[in-house]
Amino acid sequence: MKEVVVITGAGGSVAKVLAKKLENEYTVRFLTRTKKHANDFEWNIEKGTVDERAFENVSHIIHLAGANISEKRWTDERKKEIISSRVDSAQLILKTLQEKNIKLKLFISASAVGIYGAITSEKIFKEEDEKGKDFLSEVVILWEKAADEFLEKNVAERVVKVRISIVLSEKEGALKKMAVPVKFGIGSPLGTGRQYIPWIHIDDLSSVFEFALKNENVKGAYNASAPQHTDNENFTKEIAEVLNKPMFMPNIPGFVMKLIFGELSVALLEGSRTSSEKLHNEGFQFKFPDLKDALEDLLKRN
């Protein structure tokens, strides 16, 4: 009998790619706002309701749910939504499992390299490094604390927190947004262009979750970012090169980004490098460690 894996954040591309990797070996179920398929189970975080049938015989939960950080300006209301979608959702799962006296083998939570703060520095951040003090850091600290409660309250035997960097996907996210102006010959670096962009190919990210699921020695926090580092200017130039487009537009000034995006602009104008050494030491192998190869694969899929 296959073990049951419940995945939240069913609408995201990571959940879809991951489910395809797991469906042959596991029974995969999704927690989602709107049921569309037989293996979908509805929940409503605001109302605190969840279809408890999702957790029947469950062994593993992979918690990917969370409102998009860069989709809207960070109003006070949006900030609450960003935190609630991550923290309250985890607490709802925990409460339900406690009430039904269900113990997991594993709870894996998405997390983010934003925990180190939105700063541009020469430091390469490792998992044990000091956390930042801005809004993004606050979000991730609360997010990881909610995950750790599964271990502290003896609801999961093992907890893994995958600190995700910028996910490169052909369907959605940063790469798709950055590629559009480049395709029209108006691609430009943002601000100084010197801010680092920690990144990971979506196939590698889904493989990280699969690796954590199957390897019992994997515990705690891991940076999920490719070993090759790049900055915003080089990233934009690499996209242009892969698409065979010119790059002659000047950088978009930081003050323009701040006018358009408000406080959210800090996530676009700042960024440091993160180390994937801990993940590598566990035995994980990246399929796309090189940015050019990752872009070639994604931008030429269609």
Q: Rounded to an integer, what distance in angstroms lies between the CA atom of residue 239 and that of residue 244?
A: 8
DSSP annotation of 82 reads: H
Residue 201's pLDDT is: 96
Cβ-contact 140, 114 below 8 angstroms:
yes
* Amino acid, res. 285: Q
Residue 74's pLDDT is: 83
Bridge partners for 30 per DSSP = 7, 40
pTM above 0.85, yes or no: yes
Tens digits of per-residue pLDDT, 190-227? 777 788 889 999 999 999 999 999 999 999 999 999 99
Q: Rounded to an integer, what distance in angstroms lies between the CA atom of residue 9 and that of residue 161?
A: 15
More confident position, 68 or 88: 88
Tens digits of per-residue pLDDT, 4-36? 999 999 888 999 999 999 999 999 999 998 898
Q: Which two tokens stand for residue 129?
A: 């490094």
Taking the CA atoms of residue 273, residue 278, residue 281 and residue 285 in that order, the dihedral angle to the nearest 10 degrees is -60
Residue 200's pLDDT is: 95
Instruction: Tell me what the pLDDT averaged over the chain comes to.
Output: 89
Rounded to 5 degrees, φ, ψ at 261 are -105, -10
Cβ-contact 1, 56 below 8 angstroms:
no
Arithmetic mean of pLDDT, 55-83: 91
Q: Rounded to an integer, what distance in angstroms lies between the CA atom of residue 283 and that of residue 302?
A: 32
Q: What is the set of domains in the chain, with CATH numbers?
A: 3-231+263-299 (3.40.50.720)
